[in-house]
Amino acid sequence: MKQKTITLKVSDKTKDMMIEFFEDLRREKTPPYAIFQAKDGDTVVTLYESGKCVFQGLDADLASDYWIETEKINSGHADITDSSKKEKEKKEKVIPIRISSIGSDEVGTGDYFGPIVVTASYVSKENIDYLLDLRVKDSKKLTDTDILKIVPDIIKKIPYQTFILRNSDYNNYNSNYNMNKIKAILHNKVLYEIKNKGYSYDYIVVDQFENSNSYYNHIKDSNKQVKNIFFLTKAEDQCLSVACSSMISRYIFLKEMDKLSNSVGINLPKGANPLVDEVGKKIVSMYGKDKLREIAKINFKNTDKILN
């Protein structure tokens, strides 16, 4: 696997949160003009005085996801550069937008609280203009307010299949499966269910989170496999069925987060940042540590910070 490099410009608020979060992971030596350099799993994180934060490593995309979402919450947007993909994107395959397709996408894999939601949608050629008029696109480029407003119109017209992996089930999975395997299994599940409803389509598209060989290896034990998938990076920008799935997944995730928040009497934050740790401590003080298994992904490093 190749190293990835992702650069994120962070606001002062996010910068302060990162300084606190990476306090125990800092390296002794710091590059010039850097506030700190830390090791986060297989990724080296360097935060500069200018607010530029560089993630370098095999899992740079996963490590940066937390902070990209945090920056969106803090400042309303995120300025991201993925230099490791520039050459690849020049050669990236593309698909025409005016096709009938089945596409899938997931939400919640980088959030400590809340479930993982995976959705597969079917978009016919006849519904393309309708979706374009609704401004259907990648859920990460829309605010939660946009999602809550637009998605009810989408689900009235677009067939979809969703699976919600709640935390109690996720916590039983995670000791044996890594996150990519869980995602592959869930994508295969919803794709199989909607594919077998008999819709006519040109492509089956998955927003690529790993190479195709690894994906198919993850689902090799399933007797209900979907093959001939078109794996596409930034698929939400090119394929309306993936964009629909991204938005529907986000919509359902927001609704599930509201339910969890109401159940514990605390507004549960998204992401996996220091604010999450503080809320987690309150949850433990009110309900005990076993409550985390119901509402959180306990294999995240947040759990250690909360319990210690």
Q: What is the pLDDT of residues 62-99, one digit of tens each?
A: 888 889 988 988 888 888 887 655 544 444 556 676 78
Integer Cα distance of 60 and 303 in angstroms = 21
Element (H or E) spanning 171, and its range?
helix 167-173
Six-digit token string for 236 = 């939400």
| Residue 90 Rama label (left phi>0; alpha psi -120 to 50; beta) | alpha
The tokens describing 140, both together, are 């990460």
Which residues have C-beta within 8 Å of that of residue 84, sequence separation ≥ 6?
A: 2, 3, 4, 5, 6, 60
| CATH topology for the 4-86 domain | TATA-Binding Protein (3.30.310)
Please write the tens of the pLDDT for every residue from 216-241: 999 999 999 999 999 988 888 889 99
Question: Is the confidence at residue 249, as pLDDT, over 90?
Answer: yes
DSSP-assigned letters across all residues of 106-121: EE-TT-SBS-EEEEEE
pLDDT digits (tens, 9 = 90+) for 22-73: 988 899 888 899 999 998 878 899 999 999 999 998 888 888 888 998 898 8
Where are the chain's structural domains? 4-86, 101-258
The SS3 assignment for 295 reads: helix
Predicted structure pTM score: 0.70
Copy the structure tokens of residue 104.
């899938």
Round to whole Å and give the CA distance between 305 and 182: 25
Q: Is 246 a residue whose pLDDT tops 70? A: yes
Q: Could you give the 3-state DSSP secondary structure of residue 62?
A: helix
In this structure, are residues 47 and 64 in contact, taking their beta carbons and an 8 Å threshold? no
CATH number for the domain formed by residue range(s) 101-258: 3.30.420.10
- pLDDT score at 91: 45
